Amino acid sequence: MEKLLHYVWKHKILPLKSLLTTDGREVEIIDPGMHNTNQGPDFFNAKLKIGGTLWAGNVELHLKSSDWFRHGHDSDPSYNNTILHVAQVVDCEVTTQEGTRPPQLQLDIPAHLYQNYQELCQTDDYPRCHKIIPSIPPMKSHMWMDALLAERMKERAQKVQDRVNLLNGDWEQATFVTLCRNFGFGLNGDTFERWAMQIPLQGIAKHRDSLFQIEAVFLGLAGLTDEAAQVKGNEMAEKWKREFAFLSHKFQMPEPMKASDWKLLRSRPQNFPHIRILQIAELYHSGKAQMSALTEARDLKEMHRILGVGGTSAKSRNLIIINTIVPLLYAYGMHRSDDRLIQKAIALLEELPAEDNYILRQWKACGLNVGTAADSQALIQLKREYCDRKDCLRCRFAYEYLKSVSG
C-alpha cells in the first residue's frame, strides 16, 4: 500500500478536499518531485507551498508517521532537508537528525483508486485493464508503446553486448551465437546457444568451402548425426561421424551434446533441431551468417534472400530478422554511437508484420491497433515486464484505469 501512496503523490491523484498539514496550514503541490527508488527520501527536489510559503526540498511518505522512526530516519542526515512528511495515518510527530520537526500531511488514498487497484491485482483476466483500452486516445497508446519498444530494444541489445563481452569482444562469433539461438525459436533457444558456443569458429572457418565438413562438425557437436541422416540419406551418418572424429581431434572440440538435450515435444517437423542445424550449416557455408552480410543488407528483401538459404519459410525468416538482425543492429549502433544503425533497426520493425500469437490477439480484441512488429515487440515487453509482474503502477494503460472514477 505504501507504493500506492507514492503513486497518489507522484501523479497528484488527490482527494477533492483541501490538503492541510496537521497544524492547519494549506499545502499546494507545485511539483511532487523526482521519485527516488534507491536509498534516501522518496521524492527529491519537490516544490510546495505550505501556508503560502514556497518550499523546495525532499518529501518522505509512509503508511504511518511512526514508520519514520522505525526506519531510522531520525538519525539519518539524508532526511534533514525533508520539507514535508506525508502519511496515511499520522500517529506521532517526527524529528530529523538536526532536531527539526518537518510538517506532516495526512493523505488518504482515494476510494476509487484503491478499488481499481484491487481489481487489477486480483483479476485473472488478460489484459487486466482491457475495459479502459477503447477509451484511451490512439496518440496516448502509441506514445506508451514507443516507450515500451525502446525499453525492449535496449534490453535485447544489452543481451547481445553481454554475449560480445563474454566472447572477449568478438562481434563475429556473437553474431553467429545470436543467430543460432534464434533458430531454436524459443523451445530450443538455450540449447542452440549452448551448442553454438562450443563450435570452434576460427578453426572450422578454414573448412567453410566444404558443406559436408561443416555439417559433420555442426551435427556431431549437437549429437544429432543419426537424426539428420534420415533427411540426407542413411549412408551419410557414418561419413559425417568419421569426418567429425577427425575434425574434433584436430580442433580439440568439447564432448558432443546428447540427442536427449534437444526438445521435440509439440514441435513441428520443420522446427526439429537437426533440420534447423542443417539450415544453419548451409547458411554458414554460403558466408551469409557473417555480421557484415546480415547488418549491411540494404533492405528487407535482401535480408530474406540471405536467410532463405537452406529453405527457411518466410514466417521463420521474419522472426529471425526480428530476433537477430534487429537487436544486432541496435546493439552495434549503441556500441559505435551510430544512430543510423539504431534507426535502421527500428525501421525494420515498423516494416515487418506483427507476430501472431494468443497474447497479441487478446490486445487486438480489446481495441488496440497491432499492425507491425514494432507494436508486437512493445506489447511483449508490456506483458513480460509489467503484466506478468503485476507492476501496474508503472504502466500508462493502468494509470488510465486507476484514475477512472468508474473503474
**Residue 49: which region, alpha, beta or left (left: phi > 0; alpha: psi -120 to 50)?**
beta
Q: How far apart are CA 364 and CA 361, in angstroms?
A: 5
Residues 6+ apart with CB under 8 A from 86: 5, 9, 59, 60, 61, 62, 104, 105, 107
Pick the closest to residue 286 from 270, 312, 310 (CA basis): 310
Please report how the helices 373-382 and 358-365 are oriented relative to each other, as an axis angle in degrees rounded to 10. 100
The pLDDT value given to residue 407: 41
Q: How far apart are CA 397 and CA 44, in angstroms?
A: 26
Q: How far apart are CA 217 and CA 225, in angstroms?
A: 10
The pLDDT value given to residue 266: 74
Confirm if 144 and 374 have CB atoms less than 8 A apart. Answer: no
Question: What's the one-letter identity of residue 274?
Answer: H
* Residue ranges of the chain whose pLDDT lies below 70: 406-407
Q: How far apart are CA 77 and CA 75, in angstroms?
A: 6
Pick the closest to residue 85 from 57, 65, 104 (CA basis): 104
Q: How far apart are CA 290 and CA 172, in angstroms?
A: 7
Q: How distant, in Å, are the alpha carbons of 75, 189, 266, 356 from that of 360? A: 51, 21, 21, 7
The pLDDT value given to residue 406: 54
The pLDDT value given to residue 358: 86
Q: Supply the mean pLDDT for the chain.
A: 94
Query: In 3-state terms, what secondary structure has residue 123?
Result: coil
Q: What is the pLDDT of residues 182-197, one digit of tens each?
A: 999 989 999 999 999 9
Q: Grid coordinates representing 92?
A: 506521532
DSSP string of 308-334, one letter each residue? TTT---HHHHHHHIIIIIHHHHHHHHH
